[in-house]
Every structure is written in structure tokens, then in C-alpha cells.
Amino acid sequence: ALEEFCRVCYNTAYLLLVQWVPFGALLTGGSEQQQRRYLPGLASGDLRAAFSLTEPQSGSDVARIRTRAEKCDGGYRINGSKIWCTNASLADFIVVAVKTGTDDKAGSINFFIVDCDTPGFTVGKKEEKMGARGVPSHAIFFEDVFVTEDQRLGSEGQGFKIVMEALNTSRPLIGARGVGLAQGAMDLAVEFVKERQAFGQSVSDYQGVRWMIADMAIQIEASRNLVYRAAQAADDGVSGKELATLAAIAKCHSSDTAMKVATDAVQLFGASGISNEYPINRYFRDAKVLQIIEGTNQIQRNIISRNVMAK
């Protein structure tokens, strides 16, 4: 479904996926009480969620987050700020990464479910973005936001493990969006070059153009199979390093493919490719987002190489 949505509209697919990371985190680390409270509403669409990890000084380096939760009577007080929280202005609750210790180790990270009507929680301005413009992203702020222990996901210090497992299951879905976006870009390019005439013949008759289309098709099909393999592994209950590697490969290859195919499609459109009269420039802008979100492709390569070298 994500692949087909993204073939036509990246943002529709994104709106579906943005629910998955908090949903996956609740499935992985949520208590029975938390799951009963939140999962039915997420599944039905009655509740909307967001997930918040990134801070100005810590994107890929998760262990360096500074937002902290300090123990108090009855629970914790959260203070700090986050950036690039997608769906923050629309969410009913946000799964937030915080530090409960004083060091920079992953073991001091915990996740809390913060209801968006909690006093002290505020949503900042909407970011103006190059791509993914149909989905809002915001800074968010916490000033003595009170949460109970029952709002913590998992036991103390288990937050990093919980979110890594959630990301391992969501990255194949990022991959599916990459496949869909690439397929949509190629479809538009094929339609355009068939109709476009140059030097007395259809542009699609030139061998150089046909080779570009062939390369697109090769990479799209390769990405599709990598994504389906990773998704099947997740459905089969594969976890840990094995799933992390398959998910990273799928996410990295498919988003790189989306960027390459969209870039070549713009080239085939010529001057029309940079005109807002044609949709292909939107595919180009949205493809770049896929190479960055949920772990940059450089981070994916780190994950892949680390796990391969450890065998």
C-alpha cells in the first residue's frame, strides 16, 4: 500500500508511516495497559501519534540528546526541546526520547508517552521544507512536563533497544516509499519521452534515452526485492542484527534508487523538469528526504558494514 501511495503522492504515504514508529515502539516496549489505551485508537485512526528523537546537537548521534526527565513525586519532570518532530501539530500524543541519567551512553535513554494537552508542552513553528511539504514538522518544547512512571516505555534504560527494534521494522517501509517514488518518477519520464519530439523523431527512440529508462527499471526492481525480503523477515519475527542489516540495506538501496531515478527523470524532462507545471520536480525534492530520515544513508552503511564485519 505504501509503495502504491508513494507512486502518486509521497505525502499520503508519509502520513501513514509517521504513525508506525510510535505504533511499533508501543508494540515492542509498551505495557499491556499502554497498548490497550493507545493501539486501538491508532489502528482505527481515532488517535494520531508522533515520534520525537532529534535535537539540534544530536541527529544520528542519539546518545547525545539533552532533553532530560528527572524523578519527582509520582513520576518525572521533562525539560528540553526537540526539532523535526513530524506530525507534532496534529498528534494526540508523542513518544519522546529523553535522558534519565547524566552520561552520554545509550543505556540512560528512555521513552515516555507525552499527551499533547499536558501542561508545559508546546509546539513551535512549522518548518519550511524542500520536500515532504504536505506533512508538518515542528520544534517541540518541554517545560516541567509531568509524566507518570506508567507513561515510560519499558523498564528503566531500555529505551534505546526499544526504538532500535521499532526502526528496524519501519525502515523497510521507508524502502517501500522509495520504490514507489522511483516507480512513479519512471512512469512520468516514460510518458514524457514517448510524447516529446526532437530532431524529427520521438525522444524515446534514442538509444541513450532507452538505456536511462532500462537502468531505472533495473534499480527499481532490485530495490523492490530487497524491500520485500526485509519486510518478510520482519513479519517472520526476525530481529536483532539480522533484521537491522536487511532493513538498512533495503532503506539505503531504495532511497538511493529513488534519488537517482528522480534525478534522471528530471534530466529527461529537460527544462520542463524544473518547472512547477510538471510534477516531476516534486518527486526529486521528496526523494532527497528519504535519504535522510530515520537514519541517513551513511548511518545505514555504518550499520551494514558493522554487522557484516562482525560475522
Helix runs in 122-206, H state only:
159-195
Q: Mapping DSSP to helix (H, G, I), strand (E, B) and coil, where does residue 296 land? A: coil
Closest CA to 140 of 119, 153, 161, 122: 122
Separation CA 92–CA 85 (nearest Å) = 13
Q: Is 294 a catalytic residue?
A: yes
Residue 96, judged by CB atoms within 10 A of its CB (0-12, 13-18, 19+), counts as buried
Which is nearest to 81 in space by CA: 91, 67, 70? Answer: 67
Torsion of CA 85, 89, 93, 95, to 10 degrees: 0
CB neighbours (10 Å) of residue 27? Answer: 15
- The C-alpha torsion from 14 through 16 and 17 to 18, rounded to 10°, is 80
- Who contacts 299 (Cβ-Cβ below 8 Å, separation ≥6)? 60
β-pairing, 197-198 with 152-153? unpaired
Cell reading at 170? 519501519
Catalytic residue among 3, 55, 165, 294: 294
By annotation, the residues acting in catalysis are 294
